[in-house]
């Protein structure tokens, strides 16, 4: 997921003052959003508000090193609670603590993107997030299976979350994240809400996401149908999947990726774009243009702006490029222009009033769709106006699954 690159200048002062009411614990846009993201998973047991508050209280504004250290310390403390509870036979307590620890380890690793391939601490935190989640998943009241989806000459990591062990074919979500989501986070972001409503979930990390970069050297690609089609092939071999009610869902940058895949993979019964993304390149090019207009260029912008620094560093890592110019070129094909009308399945496009990165793009994509479609806008005054509705999981899930229940009704 992305956070905003703030514009500067005299004409921006009033807007900055107006937006200050949206901040959560920090004035720094990126820190505010990531703290809200971590805290929002409390809705499904992925955080405890007091733990978030006490951790953030120890992190100075914009201090990325302190962010990593303090979140890692909280994660380790909560993991110890989980391990001790498990050893004592307290299954529920162990599961709850390990699930929170996984989210906190992910959060601790978020800004460690200067050189992740050579950053031993980044690797440790990522592995800890994966392991604590795997151990929590084994303690869930519903089945969770770690799988590998065949993909070209390798495989993609996945989890299959089932409503029960009955083997009954059910409506199933095929779910992936975006620019920085992880497989483990996907449980909290969507799967947990789906299971409560009778949906199975097959979620995976595609190229450029989660462990695929560090462990397999896979990077993002614009032709995402080459990723989703093997996942659909795999899903249709599972007896628990109703082949007539398979829904594709993509989050953040995944709002482009899923739309692109749905344009060419027509075995999907419905598609949810969370949120709709019309042109990823446009957003990256805008960042580069803003940097070019500043003295010192991109280095100066990165030095003063947390989001710009993270976007460029994470892009170098996940796209396998050396800098902003290559990132701009690498994203040129990430557009739905000319192919949006290839989507034939019913499609739900979500939008956020204060989207910090793709503002206006969901409407542009919606307007170009020729399939059965619906646009749902989430407002700031209902607490859901941030990018991908962070902090408003319950409302996001309610509206999304109510739409899906209607679309997939027998």
- Enzyme catalytic residues: 252
Q: Which of 167, 21, 188, 27 is nearest to 107 (CA)?
A: 188
d(CA 302, CA 315): 13
List, in order, residues 6 or more apart from 63 with CB less than 8 Å away.
Answer: none
d(CA 288, CA 302): 11
The first and second tokens of residue 108, run together, are 């601790």
DSSP string covering 26-84: -SSHHHHHHHHHHHHGGGGTS--HHHHHHHHHTS-TT-HHHHHHHHHHHHHHHHHHHHH
| E strand segments, 162-301 | 170-176, 200-204, 241-251, 270-274
DSSP string covering 269-322: SEEEEET--SBHHHHHHHHHHHHHTSTTHHHHHHHH-HHHHHHHHHHHHHHT-S
**45: number of Cβ within 10 Å:** 18
d(CA 140, CA 10): 53
The first and second tokens of residue 13, run together, are 């002062």
| Cα 383 versus chain centre, distance | 19
Q: Which of 307, 275, 279 is nearest to 392 (CA)?
A: 275
The first and second tokens of residue 214, run together, are 């560090």
d(CA 153, CA 51): 42
The first and second tokens of residue 236, run together, are 């249709």
**314: number of Cβ within 10 Å:** 20
CB 296 within 8 A of CB 324: no
């Amino acid at each position: 997921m992305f956070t905003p690159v703030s514009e500067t200048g005299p004409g921006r002062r009033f807007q900055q003052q107006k937006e200050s009411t949206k901040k959560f614990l920090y004035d720094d846009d990126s820190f505010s959003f990531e703290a809200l993201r971590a805290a929002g998973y409390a809705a499904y047991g992925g955080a405890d508000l007091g733990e978030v508050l006490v951790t953030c209280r120890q992190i100075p504004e914009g201090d990325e090193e302190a962010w990593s250290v303090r979140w890692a310390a909280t994660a380790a403390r909560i993991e110890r609670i989980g391990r001790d509870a498990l050893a004592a036979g307290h299954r529920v307590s162990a599961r709850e603590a390990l699930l929170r620890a996984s989210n906190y380890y992910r959060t601790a690793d978020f800004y460690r993107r200067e050189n992740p391939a050579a950053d031993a601490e980044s690797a440790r935190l990522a592995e800890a997030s994966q392991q604590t989640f795997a151990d929590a998943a084994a303690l869930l009241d519903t089945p969770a299976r770690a799988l590998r989806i065949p993909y070209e000459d390798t495989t993609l990591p996945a989890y299959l979350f089932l409503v029960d062990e009955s083997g009954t074919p059910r409506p199933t979500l095929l779910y992936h994240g975006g620019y920085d989501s992880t497989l483990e986070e996907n449980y909290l972001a969507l799967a947990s809400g789906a299971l409560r409503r009778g949906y199975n979930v097959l979620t995976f990390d595609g190229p450029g996401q989660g462990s695929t970069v560090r462990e397999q050297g896979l990077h993002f690609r614009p032709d995402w149908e080459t990723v989703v089609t093997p996942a659909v092939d795999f899903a249709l071999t599972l007896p628990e999947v109703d082949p007539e009610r398979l829904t594709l869902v993509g989050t953040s940058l995944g709002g482009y990726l899923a739309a692109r895949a749905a344009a060419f993979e027509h075995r999907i019964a419905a598609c949810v774009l969370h949120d709709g993304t019309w042109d990823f390149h446009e957003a990256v090019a805008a960042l580069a243009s803003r940097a070019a207009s500043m003295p010192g260029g991109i280095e100066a912008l990165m030095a003063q702006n947390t989001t710009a620094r993270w976007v460029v560093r994470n892009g170098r890592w996940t796209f396998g490029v050396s800098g902003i110019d290559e990132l701009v070129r690498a994203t040129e094909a990430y557009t739905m222009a000319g192919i949006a009308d290839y989507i034939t399945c019913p499609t739900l496009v979500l939008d956020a009033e204060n989207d910090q990165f793709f503002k206006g793009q969901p409407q542009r994509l919606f307007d170009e769709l020729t399939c059965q479609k619906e646009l749902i806008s989430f407002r700031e005054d209902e607490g859901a106006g941030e990018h991908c509705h962070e902090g408003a999981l319950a409302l996001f899930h309610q509206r999304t699954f109510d739409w899906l229940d209607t679309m997939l009704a027998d």
